[in-house]
Amino acid sequence: MTLADITIQLLNGLAGASSLFLVAAGLSLIFGVTRIVNFAHGSLFMLGVYIAYSLTDQFGRGSPLAFWSCVLAAGVAVGVIGFVVEILLLRRIYQAPELFQLLATFGLVLVIKDVVLKLWGPEDLLGPRAPGLRGAVQVMGKSFPEYDLVLIAVGPIMLGLIWLVLNRTRWGVLVRAATQDRDMVGALGVNQAWLFTGVFALGSFLAGLGGALQVPREPAQLFLDITVISDAFVVVVVGGLGSIPGAFLAALLIGVIKAFCIGIGDVQAFGTTFSFSKFTLVVEFVVMAIVLVIRPWGLLGKPAGEPRHTAATEAPLKPLPGWLVLGFAGLGAALLVLPVFTQSYLLILLIDVFVFALFAASLHFLMGPAGMVSFGHAAYLGIGAYAAALMVLRAGIPMEATLALGPLAAALGALLFGWFVVRLSGVYLAMLTLAFAQIVWSIAFQWDGFTGGSNGLIGIWPPAWAAEKEAFYHLSLVLCAAGLLALRHIIFAPFGAILRAGRDSPLRADAIGIDLRRHQWFAFTLVGAFAGLAGVLHVFSKGSISPETLGIARSVDGLVMVLLGGVQTLTGPVVGAGVFIFLQDEIARRVEFWRAILGLVIIVLVLAFPQGIVGFLRGRFMRAAA
């Protein structure tokens, strides 16, 4: 690369960083104050792009003033949408257990996507160029878009404006105070509800504005939400939660690194070619993993204090009452004999339910008793599945052996990643699990010759004795039930009890001789094995495996199942998995806009059962018994 090339790529990186910064700043503000992990933030960005497309296409072609007014109006419109969402939905569930709001925002993602599809149609919509900024300027003999130069300036300007709002207005001071300590603001007599609403609206506005600014650069399209949300999370976490300058720095860093990876291209070394261009597939996650390993609170973040308890602590665990034990035994027996009565699709659907119940329960073990939220749990599902598939296809190892070796492989993966993960806590921990999962995903995705690349591997079927649906159903039922019982048992055993204790008070655990990190590390590994077992069953039930099994969407499915059932219950994940899979299956078959309906159902469930479905049932039962 010549100096001119380097300069140009630097400028490209900076231009790409601006709108990412705006989105991330909004996300960071919202998280800082309300502690909501807003999955719908990417959807707000997408709305910003679509609304700005429509506005500029209609009114923004003439003059620069018209164009920029349209951009601003789109941001404001998204801010208003955020305002409404906060009041109608989020405000009602702040008291729910931690992360539960995430489920509501997941529902929103589904709804917004289908609404956008309905309103704007399926085709990509390329907006007009910005009036007055259509061309390019010469930078060291190369053409560079005028609009991108403006974008480069927008980043620091918005950073300055946000800084002014946060530091020079009373409202901003309250926002900062709330980011430091939410309870204190309540004590100051500030109307907390309106503070939250305001912050959510401002965050939404920033997301919408970030989207609107992209209109001259990229078409409005339906994948923008997921593309942007993971990038925005990465930026927020790399920068340090709640730190706006951190987000700015991180956005620049990632933007510039990406541009340079592209600029460097292929590099020959040690007899092989390394493609930095292909590396852009995961570079942001690699950066995040490195930053978090070195600086567990991001670049400009501050170490979090003791976790605050916003929700009621969970009630002490009790063994199930006798009648419920009988009930579950009866259910298990009924499931065992079910194939006598039906040969139908129900068995196939139930296999999925069993597998994902085990997967969700293993995630729940981490999130609940062990107090470690994972955003990348699918990694272990996928490692188990890929390990089994590869053993069958490449080494001719029989399925029976992979049922032990697959989980072992997943456990080894978890052992490796867990060592880093347990050094962190809270959202940082969750994001590091995500980074590792994405790295594993990218390896499976890239390593064509071994893992089958993006197509994955096919032809992985059970041996003759388990090939019939009925036999495989029984195999899955027995193994998943055994896995669930084992997980449940461990939660009550000294090992699990110590984990729960450490989650409640790491300080006290340390003061009574417990090496909490070692426990958590071991728990992470153990849970990896259970997820791996689910993965092995998954691959043999489908006959194939592709990188999606390791992907973010699968990890999110797991989270949704756990939260839907209720994170503070042990049967919750099982019920959550069952409900989620049946809902998806039924709704997807019946209605065209199934995604929106599924999202709405989730939102309704969230509002009706803020403790999760099982949490709600238990609450009802306990009240009835009292």
Among positions 493-532, residues that touch another protein (CB under 8 A) are 493-498, 500-501, 503-505, 507-508, 510-515, 519, 522
Indicate the burial class of 402 (C-beta count within 10 angstroms; 0-12, 13-18, 19 or more). buried
Separation between Cα atoms, residue 476 and residue 357, nearest integer Å: 11
558 binds another protein (CB under 8 A): no
Separation between Cα atoms, residue 257 and residue 284, nearest integer Å: 8
The whole-angstrom distance between residue 391's C-alpha and the CA centroid of its chain comes to 30
**Contacting another protein within 590-619 (CB under 8 A):** 592, 594-595
Span interacting with another protein, options 85-93, 124-132, 181-189, 195-203, rule CB under 8 A: 124-132
316 binds another protein (CB under 8 A): yes
Site string for another protein, 194-213 (x = CB under 8 A): --------------------
* Residue closer to another protein (CB basis): 86 or 225: 225
Residue 40 exposure: Cα atoms within 13 Å on the Cβ side: 30
287 within 8 A of 438, measured Cβ to Cβ: no
* Residue closer to another protein (CB basis): 285 or 417: 285
The CA angle 518-522-525, to the nearest 5 degrees, is 145
Say which DSSP state 63 is in: -
* Residue closer to another protein (CB basis): 380 or 594: 594
**Contacting another protein within 317-356 (CB under 8 A):** 317, 319, 343-345, 348-349, 352
Binding residues for another protein, rule CB under 8 A, total 108
58 binds another protein (CB under 8 A): no
Nearest in space to 431 (alpha carbons), one of 483, 376, 389? 376
**Contacting another protein within 224-243 (CB under 8 A):** 227
Q: How far is the CB of 119 from another protein (least distance, A)?
A: 13
Separation between Cα atoms, residue 266 and residue 275, nearest integer Å: 4
Helix and strand counts by DSSP (H, E) for the chain: 27, 6
> Which helix or strand (DSSP H or E) is residue 223 part of?
none
**Contacting another protein within 126-145 (CB under 8 A):** 126, 129, 134-136, 142-145
**Contacting another protein within 399-458 (CB under 8 A):** 445-446, 448, 453-456, 458
Q: How far is the CB of 231 from another protein (least distance, A)?
A: 9
**Contacting another protein within 78-107 (CB under 8 A):** none
**Contacting another protein within 251-310 (CB under 8 A):** 258-259, 262-263, 265-266, 275, 277-278, 280-281, 309
* Residue closer to another protein (CB basis): 264 or 607: 264
Site string for another protein, 460-479 (x = CB under 8 A): -x-------x----------
Separation between Cα atoms, residue 155 and residue 22, nearest integer Å: 7
Separation between Cα atoms, residue 570 and residue 549, nearest integer Å: 25
Strand-pairing partners, residue 137, are 144
* Residue closer to another protein (CB basis): 82 or 612: 612
The whole-angstrom distance between residue 509's C-alpha and the CA centroid of its chain comes to 30
* Residue closer to another protein (CB basis): 9 or 54: 9
Distances (CA, A) of 168 to 107, 174, 247, 505: 36, 11, 20, 38
Residue pointed to by tokens 């989730």 = 602
